[in-house]
Chains A and B, each alone.
Chain A
Amino acid sequence: MSATSSSIALLPLTARPLRCRNCGAERGPAPVAICELCLGPLDPVYDAGRALPDAETIRRRAPSLWRYKEWLPFDGDPVWSLDTGFTPLVEAPALARRLGVARVWVKNDTVSHPSLSFKDRVVAAAINAAAAFGLETIGCASTGNLANAVAAHAARAGLKAWIFIPEELEQGKIIGTSVYGARLVRVRGTYDDVNRLCAQVADHFGWGIVNVNLRGYYGEGSKTVAYEIAEQLGWRLPTAVVAPMAGGSLLTKLRKGFGEFLDAGLIHGQPPRLYGAQAAGCAPIVRLLERGGSALEPEVPRTICRSLAIGNPADGLFAARAMHETGGWGAAVSDAELVQGVRLLAEDVGVFGETAAGVTAAGALALARAGRLRADDEVVLCITGHGLKTLEAVLDAVPEAPVIAPRLRDLIPLVEERS
């Protein structure tokens, strides 16, 4: 068979043009995330007249985030990371009883492919932007999950990866990056220090730093969480969504994603109230929401939840607006509460999430206790990363397993005692 013969004709991949969210200035597709006029964030511009698929067409497509490709920032066919997305939406009745609401589902991105966090979604978008621009090196500033995702996706695509993380990070996040052969650099300081360096790295080397100069394209990948929730609920909306916040982008993209499906007529009704959760030791977005106004006050993170430890979140203001304008709110939980959150998610739902998952679960509990959730609510919790990545956080919080000889007579008293 000829190597060129194929029943599927692929259309060449190109990236969409960009428009400034602040001043409205437009520019052509480029690995640039900042408006050159006002330095505001650039978002991809979609062709309002493009043909959109109906629910039945989407249902027949492969179970990946590319089933929603008309809402992703490209023309033509994606070339890399074709199998990312479409993670399970798991109903959690025990958690619903605990929260005192009608129904709860967990959007389970702990089993996201290939790197076990929702960051696979944004990297799937970013790496195709890199392909469209012919970039051979990608990179990121990361608190861990993004590092894992960039390393894994780059390895599969055969790209070089330069990845920058704070010096102090969980072992799973470090090894789960370097194992892919990525150039991993640990930077003395917090994530915010790493991020500042990466802004200069993108400027200096011209690499595709996914969350710096590819950020406009990268961020759009997060919208697919909203699309999947709507489809997996049977083309309808939950009344509330609780998600973790680090940079705050996920909250804004959930809002955009639900809004786009409403605009397309794929779903109907009221957009869900959006709730954001942070660790109390790094909660600049929750505090901005509580304080009001538009001036985010950066914080120096002090929490075991390293994946959310961004003290100067780029989308903080936009996330606070998303919560406020949808009728949602924010919650900040202690490190002890987040560890309990990890355990209750595991015990109630059978999902082992990382520290950010604990923040989300504990945040939902705190919101329920504060009367923010209603008895008739249908709530989705966005669980964004796998617990095996942050074993250190729960090491002392799980019961120790007894050790016995391989004899039934040793086991029987143990069973009687523990039944």
Chain B
Amino acid sequence: MSVTVNLPSVLAAHTGGARTIQANGRTLGEAVADLAARYPTLAPRLRDDQGKPYPFVNFYLNDEDVRFRGGFAAPVQDGDEVTVIPAIAGG
């Protein structure tokens, strides 16, 4: 499955400036692993040492917080949109 991943500008330094990237996988975790393999310095800013979502970012799958969908285990479909947002905002 190919999904579109939107990154915040603070992470674009790790992707050669790209803010919108295609990634492949059957789950969100696999799509993130695909990105991590292609952009090594981006990897620790998406996943922690245990391979869980990095605590200072939140992942949204088609506008929904993925923590309501099983986190990295959430299945993704072709054409899905994943948005990464820094966690520290609001309130």
Contacts and interface: CB of A to CB of B under 8 A. Distances in A.
Interface of A: 22, 33-34, 36, 38-41, 141, 189, 191-193, 195-196, 198-200, 203, 211-212, 215, 246-249, 294, 297-298, 300, 310, 312-315
Interface stretch (B22-30, B51-59, B74-82): B51-59
Contact of A33 (B9, B13, B88): B88
Given A215-B89, A248-B91, A298-B68, 12 more contacts: A36-B10, A36-B13, A39-B57, A40-B88, A195-B90, A199-B86, A215-B88, A247-B91, A297-B67, A314-B89, A314-B90, A315-B91
Interface of B: 8-11, 13, 45, 54-58, 60, 63, 65, 67-68, 83, 85-91
B67 A199 contact: no
Contact of A34 (B67, B68, B88, B91): B88
Nearest to B60: A196
Contacts of A189: 63
Given A203-B8, A298-B67, A298-B68, A38 B45 contact: yes
Of A40, A199, A211, A298, most B-chain CB atoms within 10 Å: A199
B65 A192 contact: yes
Given A298-B65, A298-B68, A41 B88 contact: yes
Nearest to B64: A193
When A and B form their complex, which 10 residue pairs have the shortest distance between CB atoms, in order from nearest? A247-B91, A195-B90, A39-B56, A41-B88, A34-B86, A212-B89, A199-B85, A199-B89, A249-B91, A314-B88
Contacts of B88: 33-34, 39-41, 215, 314
Contacts of A41: 88
A211 B91 contact: yes
A118 to B, nearest CB: 12
Contacts of B91: 211, 246-249, 310, 313-315
Interface on chain B toward A: helix, strand, loop, or mixed SS?
mixed
Contact of A39 (B65, B68, B86): B86
B9 A39 contact: no
A39 B89 contact: no
A399 B55 CA distance: 48
B73 to A, nearest CB: 15
A298 B9 CA distance: 25
Of A196, A198, A297, most B-chain CB atoms within 10 Å: A196
A213 to B, nearest CB: 8
Contacts of B13: 36
Contact of A141 (B56, B58, B90): B90
A191 B90 contact: yes
Contacts of B89: 33, 141, 195, 198-199, 211-212, 215, 314
A314 B87 contact: yes
B87 to A, nearest CB: 6
B10 A196 contact: no
B56 A310 contact: no
Given A141-B90, A247-B91, A314-B90, A34 B10 contact: yes
A212 B60 CA distance: 18
Contacts of B90: 141, 191-192, 195, 198-199, 211-212, 247, 310, 313-314
25 contacts: A22-B56, A33-B88, A34-B10, A34-B88, A36-B10, A38-B45, A38-B56, A39-B45, A39-B56, A39-B86, A39-B87, A141-B90, A192-B90, A196-B58, A196-B63, A196-B85, A198-B90, A199-B86, A200-B85, A212-B89, A246-B91, A248-B91, A298-B67, A312-B65, A314-B88
Contacts of A33: 88-89
Nearest to B52: A295
B12 to A, nearest CB: 10
A187 to B, nearest CB: 11
Nearest to B57: A39
A256 to B, nearest CB: 15
A297 B60 CA distance: 15
A190 to B, nearest CB: 10
Contacts of A297: 67
A199 B11 CA distance: 13
